[in-house]
Amino acid sequence: MNIYKQYLKQALITVTMLTIYACEKDPEQHLELGNWYLQKGLIDDAITEYREVSRLLPPDHSKLDRDQFKILGTAHFKLALSYTKKGWWEYALREAENSFELSPSPDTHELVVLIKEKIALQNNRNES
């Protein structure tokens, strides 16, 4: 049984290393990993992965192809959601606006509006 556990441990390490290597330069893999982390409630890890998507793609958006625009827009959207879960509303708003700018949709527009409403409510409470 000990040999089986060692084999399983080594296989898990190998799969993990291959996943990390595959993610290294593939923004889509980072997006998928971020989604997995977010699903599991690992918000800080999800944020790291979504930010990595932005880091790997060219900052000059004119150099992005259609798929890259979609990936980047989704990463900003998911980053905004992640920030809302941490209560970081200003960061969430910035990311939601970035997502809307890259990939306008009813969902991104609604997220921007909801975050702005939340910030306004907080500001009203702080003034009271």
3-state secondary structure of 41: coil
Residue 111 is encoded by which pair of tokens? 């997220």
Angle between helices 66-86 and 89-102 (to 10 degrees): 160
> Would you state the pLDDT for residue 58?
87
**pTM for the structure as a whole:** 0.78
Q: Is 88 exposed, middle or buried (0-12, 13-18, 19+ CB in 10 A)?
A: middle
What does the pLDDT read at residue 30?
94
Res 25: pLDDT: 74
| CA 40 centroid distance within chain | 13
Mean pLDDT, each 10-residue run in order, the chain (128 residues) = 71 60 75 95 95 92 89 96 96 96 93 95 85
Domains and CATH numbers, the chain: 2-127 (1.25.40.10)
